């Protein structure tokens, strides 16, 4: 099977690590291909970024199906363009947030998200509401590091994620934890070990692993999203000017 991973930003420096991580979770015989956007935002942290990323996400999703891929994963913990992408193809399209939230809700009483910025709190709550899991969301804890700064401050990020994780467990009642950015996913196993060592033996999910395994399962089961829920758009002409700068 072939799985197409869309890095839904124009920042190509993450591609190699993203490709390697997804491939590490894939079973023998699963081919993973990672691609970044040709145009869109450098990172996704707001609704504006989500909107700017969506058009080329749709282009890449349509091309993936044409090229014979069996599923698409949108590699961002904001699930940008997810529902729109499902409307334009007949293969599974996976959002790591949706997949991780539903798995966490199945495995625990309540879960918390350890995110990057304070402004993510509303976004995460809106996503939980969209997925019917608002009552399962214990909290959103942030580490106040911008997405574009994560890779250059990994040790600082780890220390702050561990502290935020302990607070989510002890103060908010979280029983499972989810990183709020896929760049944080690489720290999931290290955080899991640290929590285990400190007697906080709860799962710290890796959304990339969850998304990859869900994609493989849907392909095995020959399942895609319901066409009643995600109907194919009617044919129409679309004109889209590509912006060069959407800074405020």
pLDDT digits (tens, 9 = 90+) for 115-151: 988 888 898 999 999 999 999 999 999 998 888 888 8
pLDDT at residue 246 in the model: 47
For residue 44, pLDDT over 60 is answered with yes
Q: How many Cβ atoms are within 10 Å of 227's Cβ, its own excluded?
A: 11
Best CA proximity match to 212, nearest among 33, 11, 12: 33
pLDDT at residue 248 in the model: 43
For residue 21, pLDDT over 70 is answered with yes
For residue 186, pLDDT over 90 is answered with no
pLDDT at residue 159 in the model: 92
Tokens of 226: 């319901």
Q: CA–CA separation, 96 vs 82, rounded Å?
A: 10
pLDDT higher for 147 or 231? 231
Q: CA–CA separation, 126 vs 242, rounded Å?
A: 28
- Answer whether 98's CB lies under 8 Å from 79's CB: yes
Q: CA–CA separation, 90 vs 221, rounded Å?
A: 14
Q: CA–CA separation, 182 vs 143, rounded Å?
A: 14
Determine the 3-state secondary structure of 141 from DSSP.
Answer: strand
What beta strand segments (E) does the chain contain? 2-7, 31-36, 71-74, 93-94, 111-115, 137-142, 176-179
Tokens of 17: 């690590």
Q: How many Cβ atoms are within 10 Å of 6's Cβ, its own excluded?
A: 28
- Answer whether 65's CB lies under 8 Å from 95's CB: no
Q: CA–CA separation, 206 vs 73, rounded Å?
A: 14
Rounded-to-10 torsion of CA 30, 99, 48, 126: 180
In percent, the amount of the chain with pLDDT more than 90 equals 74
Can you say how many angstroms the Cα of residue 76 is from the centroid of all Cα atoms in its chain? 3
pLDDT at residue 18 in the model: 94
DSSP designation for 111: E
Q: CA–CA separation, 91 vs 172, rounded Å?
A: 38
pLDDT at residue 185 in the model: 84
Q: How many residues does the chain have?
A: 248
- Answer whether 102's CB lies under 8 Å from 207's CB: no
Q: CA–CA separation, 214 vs 220, rounded Å?
A: 10
Structural domains of the chain ordered from first start: 2-95+208-220 (3.40.50.12500), 97-206 (3.40.50.12500)
- Answer whether 3's CB lies under 8 Å from 216's CB: yes
């Amino acid at each position: 099977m072939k799985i197409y991973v869309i890095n839904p930003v124009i920042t190509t420096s993450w591609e190699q690590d993203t490709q390697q991580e997804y491939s590490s979770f894939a079973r023998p015989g699963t081919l993973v291909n990672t691609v970044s956007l040709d145009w869109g935002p450098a990172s996704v942290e707001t609704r504006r970024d989500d909107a700017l990323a969506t058009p080329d996400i749709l282009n890449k999703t349509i091309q993936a199906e044409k090229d014979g891929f069996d599923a698409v994963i949108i590699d961002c913990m904001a699930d940008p363009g997810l529902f729109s992408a499902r409307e334009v193809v007949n293969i599974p399209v996976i959002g790591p947030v949706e997949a991780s939230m539903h798995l966490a809700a199945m495995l625990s009483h309540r879960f918390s998200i350890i995110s990057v910025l304070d402004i993510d709190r509303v976004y995460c709550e809106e996503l939980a509401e969209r997925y019917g899991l608002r009552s399962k969301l214990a909290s959103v804890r942030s580490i106040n590091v911008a997405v574009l700064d994560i890779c250059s401050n990994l040790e600082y990020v780890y220390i702050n994620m561990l502290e935020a994780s302990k607070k989510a467990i002890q103060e908010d009642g979280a029983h499972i934890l989810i990183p709020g950015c896929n760049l944080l996913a690489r720290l999931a196993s290290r955080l899991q070990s640290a929590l285990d060592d400190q007697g906080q033996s709860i799962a710290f999910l890796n959304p990339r692993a969850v998304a990859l395994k869900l994609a493989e399962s849907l392909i095995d089961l020959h399942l895609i999203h319901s066409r009643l829920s995600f109907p194919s758009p009617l044919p129409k002409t679309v004109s889209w000017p590509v912006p060069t700068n959407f800074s405020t």
